[in-house]
Chain A
Amino acid sequence: QVQLQESGPRLVKPSETLSLTCTVSGGSISNYYCTWVRQPPGERLEWIGNIYYSGTTNYNPSLKSRVTISIDTSKNQFSLTLGSVTAADTAVYYCVKGAGWLPDSWGQGTLVTVSS
């Protein structure tokens, strides 16, 4: 059974860069889309974007100017960077492995707080 685990700093200062890594175990990420989703407190889930194992990316236009998703198939990991963060970027961030574009297997999520 595939398992995903998010890792990275839980506290980021305003204007700095948020960086998270997702480590996948129990299955290869090759041939799959890997997705990041977030949920700010009290708000709905938001699709951030995805990356195919080949490196092709797709981003939510609302975040596109600040987001980069990358992949390392040799480590079975994919990563998220979000630049110029503000308090509005405080959220639980989930990494998700996809069946095509459909988010399928989810990590537990990690709360990242933006605060000085």
Chain B
Amino acid sequence: EIVLTQSPGTLSLSPGERATLSCRASQSVRDNYLAWYQRKPGQAPRILISGASNRAAGIPDRLSGSGSGTDFTLTISRLEPEDFAVYYCLQYGSSPLTFGGGTKVEIK
């Protein structure tokens, strides 16, 4: 199975700053089937990005996904208060689907 490694584990930033989250795969993700999710305490995870770079409906353009093969990035250009949360990557190109361990973006 494909192992996804997210880094850093925790990102401490201030509102308005840029956040760069990494997701690295142990082998190439088929067709770049890589998704990003956001989860806040007490809420269901929300899909942000699919296919490595396609924003889901209603996701603001300050969030963007990039990358291919084994290296993927989620970038938040300017952090808003509602962006402080935990982010997960998921590869859905090969079974079993696998998730990264998560990156917590916290207020500095």
Contact = CB atoms under 8 A, between A and B. Distances in A.
Interface of B: 33, 35, 42-47, 50, 88, 90, 92, 95-102
B50 A44 contact: no
B44 A44 contact: no
Given A102-B35, A103-B90, A46 B43 contact: no
17 contacts: A45-B88, A45-B90, A45-B99, A46-B99, A47-B97, A47-B98, A61-B96, A62-B96, A94-B44, A94-B45, A99-B50, A101-B33, A103-B97, A106-B45, A106-B46, A107-B44, A108-B43
Instruction: Kindly state the interface size class of chain A when it binds its partner.
Output: 10 to 19
Given A94-B44, A102-B35, A106-B46, A44 B102 contact: yes
A47 B46 CA distance: 16
A26 to B, nearest CB: 14
A101 B97 contact: yes
Contacts of B45: 94, 106
A47 B98 CA distance: 6
B99 A109 contact: no
Contacts of A94: 44-45
A102 B52 CA distance: 12
Contacts of B102: 44
A61 B96 CA distance: 7
A60 interface: yes
Interface in A76-116: 94, 99, 101-104, 106-109
A73 B97 CA distance: 24
